[in-house]
Every structure is written in C-alpha cells, then in structure tokens.
Amino acid sequence: MNRLALSALLVSCVSFGALGCSITTASVPTRSPAVAFGASTSDVQSCTADGTQVIATHVVPKAGVTAVAEGARIGLRFATIGNPRVALALDPGTLQILGGETPPVETAYSGSQGPVQTELPDHRRLVAWTEGSLEGGMRVRASTLSPDGSSDAPLDLRFVGSAVGRPAVAVTRAGNGVVAFIESSDDGFQLVVTHLTCATP
C-alpha cells in the first residue's frame, strides 16, 4: 500500500469512524466466522473462486460497496471521485459489465462491521469478511457454511493491495456469485470483484 493511500485510510478511520475499523480493531486480527461461531471444518460442498478483476478505479472507500443478485446478473453500487452513486450490472461468470438497467442497490453504510453472508439455494451460506491489520495488510476471506454450521477452509481473496472495509456478496440461483471489495493499492482505491462458483443441487 502506498504512503498516500495508507494516510487516507488512517484519516478516514480516525476522523469518520468509516470502513468498520478503529485503532483497536485495526491492530488485532479478526477471527473467521468458523472460529467465532464454533463451527468445525468438514466436507462442505464449497464455493470456489475462479477469476478476479478490477471493476473500477478512483473509488471512494467511505461509501462502501453493496451487491445483489437479480436473475442471472449481479448488481453493484459504490462511489467514485467523479460519481457518488455508480450502479453497474455484471455477468458474474465473465465479470463483464452489462448494459441496460441496473438493479436498485442501496449504497453501503460505511460504518458496517463484521461478516456479510448470503444464503445459497440448498441452505448453505456463503460468508465473507475482512481480517488482518493495517500494519500487516487487510485481506478478504470467504467460506461456505453448511446448515449445521460446519465450514470449509476459507478462501483468501486478496488481490494486489490491502482490503478496505466490508466486502459485499451475492449469488444467483444458478450458483454464480461474486465477492466485491474495495482495495488500496499503489494506484489508489479500486473496486475488485472475484467470481465464485457455488454448486447447486
């Protein structure tokens, strides 16, 4: 992470309480949901990651990101320096931006903390969270939980920089999903999206 991006992140956290971080939580690694909920690793049919792409640059981290599945596509909402309410529709399989109408996704509340989750068609859950520290770097991780709470080994979705704030997750009924998150890199803040395949019954 470059010095400018790190300074911006620290100012946002301290001044505005944004990004779900604070002086205390930034220095203590967060536990994964599997540990926090007492779930044990098992033979859960896992979601797998098979593609990552930068969707937007010059992103405003304080605005956060939200995602929603609508039919066969995923809608994202976030903010950039030039546009405070960007709404995009993605093909989750190719991560290509689609034309036409975009789903009504509300801007994420910047103070939101903790893991985010979405339920899969067979009652499994896909859970994503941010963990790490400002000193060592933050990463987004995701895990598939079975209905009884057992989980697979978490996926590490770090791309090229340090994750900022809370991720967003959405999965279509066909099992195509994304985890979207804001990341600070040498080029500033960018929106990163990872495609997940979650096998459906």
Q: What is the pLDDT of residue 7?
A: 42
Q: What is the pLDDT of residue 65?
A: 93
Q: What angle do CA 16, 169, 127 make, to 5 degrees?
A: 95
**Could you tell me which of 161, 191, 184 has the C-alpha nearest to residue 12?**
184
Q: Are residues 16 and 110 in contact, defined by beta-carbon separation less than 8 angstroms? A: yes
Average pLDDT over residues 5-11: 41
Task: Look up tokens 């926090």; give the residue.
Answer: 36
Average pLDDT over residues 22-47: 46
Average pLDDT over residues 131-142: 88
Residue 141 confidence (pLDDT) above 80:
yes
Residue 137 confidence (pLDDT) above 50:
yes
Confidence of residue 186 (pLDDT cuts 50, 70, 90): confident
Q: What does pTM read for this prediction?
A: 0.76
Percent of the chain with pLDDT over 90: 45
